[in-house]
A and B are shown apart, each in its own frame.
With several copies, the nearest count.
Chain A
């Protein structure tokens, strides 16, 4: 019976490892609860309208529940209302939806997570010096929140740290590599760089390695094998990880509960963690990392 339940997850991205980890968590839950889950997302976090089309197609399928990570909450509101009218429960994930329609939200607090990265950066460079950011996107919510979370924390707490450059590499590893190299070239005395998502972080590591700069403190975001290796090898000081598998899992779990008419927790904080060479092998951390 439950096997016939159809849950459509519309995420913000697809190919990136973070989203694949979310998908993995969703698949785990799907297996556990015996439901069908589909997972889709646009090619980049700027494609708001493509995501709307995906949501519309998912609605046309008439699923039993929808999981949605909004690129832009407002743009999706009419369709979400349509879902509500059709009695399809909506679970928001990743970064929430500004609306009262979702019955639950499984998300990371990106602002707080990036602020933690800023604290760690300050600690690593001794509270003063120049730092730069390589961010994946200039307009998307995750990009903006991680940038602002980091920048605001630095500005508020560490007056001796100067942010000299913020550039955007679309999360493309190669582009982020080139960006990092030019930042280092332009600022030979740079003390640290923050890469705001997986692709950006790996690009930062690559760029520093290609220029032979092992004196720069690098902080990453999310996980993936490359970042984990970089942390173990000492190229990267550490990174913030969310709990993508948990996000995916919780989203599906909440959806199933809602379909079955059970009560669901409204705010499911999936949390974020700092990990570095010291704690990377801890069980608690390993549980939230993905290869």
Chain B
């Protein structure tokens, strides 16, 4: 209400947000240019597609993690849940011989069920998210081994299963750009989640939960129920990741997924989402996942020794986030 509130013209405001959004890509663009200059093998359609594909599983998991992190929680179970859903999919399709859509639906439902469990532990039993999802991680890891009989399950009897992630619908229209379906699935999952976060009640309450859960409760909203809903949605997305990875490997590997949770969370945080909840975007998470994929791919293309790859990755993650912080400070000051 003070005259101190400046009212820039809508056009200028639009431009400013536009510039802002582009700048968020700064780290990514910087890396891409750097690697392109360093190696001629980097900037090639096939490699860009490889990078996108490499980002797809981690990207989907990171989208799931973003949802939970926005509510002020954390989800350590994403990797184990992905594996569990892949195994469920394998059991349904290969062991039980059910048709493909049922296998996919089963994987996603398994994810939702697991999300409902984590969510209930967190919202109803008040177990801290870190512990609830750490416990779920161990439980799911064990169950994946039990259910699969500690053997990988192959999808050889389900023709078309590998197409889910590795086929390319785009190729039919743009033969020179054979983007695999897995990448499309990542973008679809990200787009839908971004819409839900930005435009629906579920999204609104996700931010509200992370911002001030008590205030949300005092506003008469059934905060617990919504929180469980968000964990369930995150679980469902992990189910999609499970289908994706199973399709890509044409098998459900019951021991896969260790350490994936940290990668996913790292993508989320690099993308500017705050671990204390209340703020964050899916676009940021996507960029975060891409930054990680580009970085690792680029270092490998440059044949950097693996021990140094780790060192460089660590440094650049810190640097990328630091640059992002500086950018925000500038933006806030301007």
Inter-chain contacts of B306 with A (CB < 8 A) = 14, 39-41, 138, 167-168
Q: Are A185 and B44 in contact (CB under 8 A)?
A: yes
Complex formed: what's the CA distance from A44 to B189 in Å? 29
- Asked if A52 contacts B303 (CB within 8 A), the reply is no
Asked if B16 is an interface residue, CB under 8 A from chain A, the answer is no
* Residue with the highest number of chain A CB atoms closer than 10 Å, among B150, B249, B255, B296: B255
Q: In the complex, what residues of B have CB within 8 A of residue A62's CB?
A: 41
Flag whether A139 is at the interface (Cβ < 8 A). yes
Main secondary structure of the interface of A (DSSP, over half): helix
Known: A173-B253, A182-B301. A60 touches B44 (CB 8 A): yes
CA distance A61 to B305 in the complex (A): 14
Among the stretches B47-55, B125-133, B210-218, the one at the interface with A is B47-55
Q: CB distance A139 to B255 under 8 Å?
A: yes
Known A-B contacts A138-B306, A179-B300, A185-B41; the reply to A60 vs B47 at CB < 8 A is yes
B150 smallest CB distance to A (angstroms)? 5
Neighbouring A residues of B250 by C-beta, 8 Å: 74-75, 77, 226
Check if A185 sits within 8 Å of B301, measured CB to CB. Answer: yes
Please tell me which stretch of B66-74, B151-159, B275-283 contacts chain A, meaning at least 4 of its Cβ atoms lie within 8 angstroms of it: B151-159
* Bound-complex Cα distance A80 to B166 (A): 14
Taking a contact as CB atoms under 8 Å apart, the answer to whether B156 and A60 are in contact is no
Query: What separation, in Å, do the CA atoms of A225 and B153 have in the docked complex?
Result: 9
CB of B235 within 8 Å of the partner chain: no
Interface status of A17 (Cβ within 8 A of chain B): yes
- Considering only residues 200-215 of chain A, those with a C-beta below 8 Å from chain B are 202, 206, 210-211
Query: How far apart sit A20 and B149, CA to CA, in the bound complex (Å)?
Result: 10
Given A16-B255, A173-B249, A174-B248, are A185 and B50 neighbors across the interface (CB < 8 Å)? Answer: yes
In the complex, per-residue mask of B44-87: 1 if CB is within 8 Å of any chain A CB, else 0 = 10110010011001000000000000000000000000000000
Query: Given A62-B41, A224-B152, are A185 and B46 also a contact pair (CB < 8 Å)?
Result: yes
- Contact indicator A182/B300 (Cβ below 8 Å): yes
Q: Which residue of B lies closest to A20 (CB)?
A: B150
- Complex interface residues of chain B between 161 and 183 (CB less than 8 A to chain A): 162, 166, 180
B258 touches A48 (CB 8 A): no
List the A side residues contacting B253 at CB < 8 Å.
46, 48, 72, 75, 139, 173, 199
In whole angstroms, how far apart are the Cα atoms of A47 and B258 in the complex? 8
Total number of residue pairs linking A and B with CB closer than 8 Å: 169
B97 at the interface (CB under 8 A from A): no
Min distance, Cβ A249 to any Cβ of chain B, angstroms: 18
Question: A56–B54 contact, CB under 8 A?
Answer: yes
| Interface range for B | 35 or more
A49:B255 contact, CB within 8 angstroms: no
From the candidates B156, B180, B248, B256, name the one contacting A46 in the complex (CB within 8 A). B256
For B274, what are the chain A residues with a Cβ–Cβ distance below 8 Å? none
Residue of B nearest to A44 (CB): B258
A170-187 to B contact mask, C-beta < 8 Å, 1/0: 001110011101110110
B255:A140 contact, CB within 8 angstroms: yes
Report the Cα distance A202→B152, complex, angstroms: 12
B249 and A48 form a contact (CB under 8 A):
yes
Cβ-defined contact, A57 with B256, below 8 A: no
Query: With an 8 A cutoff between CB atoms, is A286 at the interface?
Result: no
Task: Tell me the A251-266 residues at the B interface (CB within 8 Å).
Answer: none
Check: B113 CB closer than 8 A to any chain A CB. Answer: no
A74 CB contacts on chain B under 8 angstroms: 154, 156, 249-251
Q: Interface of A with B (CB < 8 Å)? A: 14-17, 20, 36, 38-41, 43-44, 46-49, 52-54, 56-62, 72, 74-75, 77-78, 137-140, 164-165, 167-168, 172-174, 177-179, 181-183, 185-186, 188, 199, 202, 206, 210-211, 224-226, 229, 291
Additional A-B contact list (19), CB under 8 Å, known A41-B306, A226-B250: A15-B254, A20-B151, A44-B258, A49-B245, A52-B248, A54-B300, A57-B296, A60-B47, A60-B297, A61-B301, A75-B250, A77-B250, A140-B255, A167-B306, A174-B256, A177-B248, A181-B54, A182-B297, A182-B300
The 8 closest A-B pairs by CB, nearest first: A15-B255, A182-B300, A75-B249, A57-B300, A60-B47, A46-B255, A139-B255, A56-B50
